[in-house]
Structure 1
Amino acid sequence: MVEATLDRFGRIDVLVNAAASSNPIGGAIEDVDVDLLITDVDTKVGGYLRYTQAVVPAMKAQGSGHVINIGGLTGRSSDTLSGLRNVAVSHLTKVLSDQLGPFGITVNAVHPGIVRTPHLDELFVELAHERGVDSAIVEAEFTADIPTGSILDVEAVGRLVTFIATAPNAAVTGQSLTVDGGYSRGIYL
């Protein structure tokens, strides 16, 4: 992929790492499939590291670039064990920003909140079925916890990623930025 991009465009300006297992790993600790958890972490954190390793030589050679790692808010709660992958994404982001900053390469993480996707709509239907209610009720309960009163669309996440990817300098790097309509209640300095 890197070779094809360089052949076609002569440079690589932005890498957006966005991968994850679709099934959160949680439940009783005695029942956790450790192999599945390790595969989940390798998919996201290991994958992000491997892709970053692949583009760094080109970015170093041109003296600039942006790496954007998509995480998630499960790293800020204890709801699912698989949230540890998002904590690791934030840590990886900071380490990479320290190492790559001297070469003009920024590295940041974006942590989306509740975003309208087919997977989310399926979750609403599944939860509604379990409770014997309409999925609109489940969705309204999720929405009630978001100060802006609405579930994000993927474009909202894309706008933040685009902003980071087009920043003219390296002033913002090593940061974990949240786009969640105010859903997170923590104060992060």
Structure 2
Amino acid sequence: MALLAGKHALVTGGGSGIGAAIARALAAEGAALSLAGRRKQPLEAMAKQLPNATAIVADVTHEFDCQAMADLAHSAHGPIDIVIANAGMAASSPAAKIDAAHWQQMIGVNLTGAFNTVHATLADVTRQPGGRIVFIASTAGLKGYPYVAAYVAAKHGVVGLMRALSIELAGKGTTVNAVCPGFTETPLLAGAVDNIIAKTGRSAEASRAELAKDNPHGRLITPEEVAQTVAFLCAPSSASVNGQAIAVTGGPV
């Protein structure tokens, strides 16, 4: 029997990259899926590939959008049992050149968006023991990186939010964890590669190799590796794994 049969999972940023890999992994375990994000086309394309999935257009930076997202998901597949707060974005800038707009965008999407997602779904996911909340953070939530101070601050905030909620919700039988990937083969990484090429003149291959060096095993993480870690955290057998920031990066952070 599929481990997540009868469960309903909401995945933000579910149309591509890590979010799409998570959607496939949870669907393979029998979960019904609500896939949310700002771009309608990739969400609908992904939903069509899965046996029981719905696409929902929503901007997680807006509280009212998140509440509408939760309501639509509930209407489509019933109460939400699993929340995967995956929506995020990254942008780089030297600290001296970070302006208010850059700061607010990084905090808004990565941290406020994660909070809005969980806040809108909290009544569903905590209604009975067995609820799961998983934040997709980053190794940037565990250590510092140069030229991405706002992103690092936001991801550290996500890990802090996870730790607070894990204690607060433990008595309800809801687990809260964060998965922290290293540099991963996603459209987000492709943007970082383009930025390196533009600033340094390196080739795409050399730029990707430079990013891969930060992962201890010297290669990029695959979205599927992140997704399998998420699926493990969502399984009934992971009920005692709570409050953890799990690095998926090929070695210690």
Q: In which range does the TM-score fall when normalised by the shorter chain? A: 0.7 to 0.9
Which aligned pairs between 1:52-131 and structure 2 lie closer than 5 A?
Answer: 52-75=118-141, 76-79=143-146, 80-82=148-150, 83-131=152-200
Native 8 Å contact 1:124 1:135 kept in 2 = yes
Find out whether 1:48 has 2:117 as its counterpart: no
Give the Cα–Cα distance (whole angstroms) in 2 for the partners of residues 86 and 140 of structure 1. Answer: 24
Question: What secondary structure, in the 3-state scheme, does the structure 1 residue paired with 2:179 have?
Answer: strand
Give the distance between the partners of 1:99 and 1:116, measured in 2 at CA: 34
Aligned ranges 1:160-171 → 2 under 5 Å: 160-171=229-240
> Are 2:216 and 2:249, in contact at CA under 8 Å, matched by a contact in 1?
no
Equivalent-residue separation in structure 2 for 1:40 and 1:125 (angstroms): 19
Q: CA deviation at 1:19?
A: 2.0
- Unpaired runs of 5+ residues, structure 2, are 1-68
Q: Which residue of 1 aligns with 2:249?
A: 180
1:105, distance to aligned residue in structure 2 (A): 0.6
The number of equivalent residue pairs is: 182
- 4+ residue runs of structure 1 moved beyond 6 angstroms? none
Larger Rg: 1
Residue 120 (structure 1) shift: 2.1
Cα RMSD (Å): 2.1
Q: Distance in 1 between matches of 2:183 and 2:153?
A: 18
Q: 2:221 is matched with which residue? A: 152
How many angstroms does 1:122 deviate by?
A: 4.1
Q: In the superposition, relative to structure 1, how do residues 60 and 132 fare at CA in structure 2: closer, same or farther (>3 Å)?
A: closer
Q: Structure 1: 5+ residue runs without aligned partners?
A: none
- The answer to which of 118-127 and 54-63 deviates more is 118-127
- 1:152 is displaced (CA, Å) by 1.1
* Identity fraction in percent: 25
CA–CA separation in structure 2 for the residues paired with 1:140 and 1:169: 35
- Match of 2:180, SS state, is strand
| C-alpha distance in structure 1 between counterparts of 2:76 and 2:202, whole Å | 52
How far apart are the structure 1 equivalents of 2:235 and 2:139? 24
The alpha-carbon deviation at position 104 of structure 1 amounts to 0.8
Distance change in 2, residues 1:68/1:34 (3 Å): same
**Secondary structure at the counterpart of residue 127 of structure 2:** helix
Distance 1:10 1:124 in 2: 41
Aligned pair 1:12/2:50, yes or no?
Answer: no
1:69-114: CA deviation from partner (whole Å, max 9, x where unpaired)? 1111223114121100011001100111111111111111111101
- C-alpha displacement at 1:58, in angstroms? 1.6
Distance in 1, matches of 2:238 and 2:200, equals 50
Distance change (3 Å), C-alpha of 1:32 and 1:142: closer
Q: In the alignment, what sits opposite 2:94? A: 27
User: Within 1, Cα distance between the matches of 2:238 and 2:189?
Assistant: 35
1:117-136 deviation line (CA, Å, top 9, x unaligned): 23323433442454344322
**d(CA) in 2 for partners of 1:133 and 1:42?**
32
Q: Structure 2 CA distance, aligned partners of 1:49 and 1:145?
A: 28
Which amino acid is 1:3 matched to?
D
